[in-house]
Amino acid sequence: MLAHLAGLLGVLTLGLLSPGPDFLLILRNSLGPTARRGLGTAAGIALGLAVQVSAISLGFAALPASAMRALQLAGAAYLAYLGLRALCARDETAPDSPATDTPRQAQHAFLSRSGQKSVLSSATRAVAPTLHRGFVDGLVCNLTNPKAFLFFVGLFAQVLPSGTPLGWRIALPVTIVVHGGTLWTLVVLALRAPLVAAQLRRAQHWLPRVFGLALLALAAWLAWTTLRTAA
């Protein structure tokens, strides 16, 4: 179980740092005068994660073994689909900006190329961003993203087979939420530091591809182990 958890956290880390609704929202809300709205957003996303992964983990306990195997294969297929999508995604980033760019200019360019220019303008004009506003943003963004739910269904179907003890069904979601909340908080704090946004923009050239390869490898391994145990 611990080996599965380590692999799961590795895949989740790559997914967290790849472009997606939660990541872009964190970037937008971290650019205000203070870090409060960004930190609130990280907390809201963490609560959304808690709701989704707890529902999935506890819901799997009621499934019979045959239904669980079918769900495992469907989950592996969906992870493979996401992996192919990540590998084939068009690179939205442009060549690196000149070294004379300021951190704020780098952040502006990064979000502009990610289709977030208008929301960046509204965020930087905000006079008093609050923890509460960021919390609501993060919670709504996470809970209304069906791809995130399906992603966790695909992952959890593999590490929570039939007969998994209740303690592990509770410990796994807790670990996922603590991991996500901690990393999102670190991302918010890092975005306040000089030159970090430029480094993140460079990382977008290769992070989605690495994430896609990891998902394809995980999907192949999960499908093989599911079919082997069913034989």
Q: Is 165 exposed, middle or buried (0-12, 13-18, 19+ CB in 10 A)?
A: exposed
The secondary structure element, H or E, covering residue 62 is none
- Indicate the angle between helix axes 166-191 and 196-203, nearest 10 degrees: 120
Instruction: Summarize pLDDT for 55-94 with one digit per residue, the tens.
Output: 888 777 666 667 777 877 887 788 888 888 878 876 544 4
Instruction: Summarize pLDDT for 169-220 with one digit per residue, the tens.
Output: 888 889 989 999 999 999 888 887 767 766 766 776 777 788 788 888 878 8
Based on the structure, what is the number of domains in the chain?
A: 1
Show the domain range for 154: 2-122+131-230
Token pair 């998994």 is at which residue?
A: 164
- What is the 8-class DSSP label of residue 96? P
- Tokens representing 95 are 């060549």
Q: Is 58 exposed, middle or buried (0-12, 13-18, 19+ CB in 10 A)?
A: middle
Which residue, among 2, 19, 72, has the nearest Cα to 228 in the 3D structure? Answer: 72
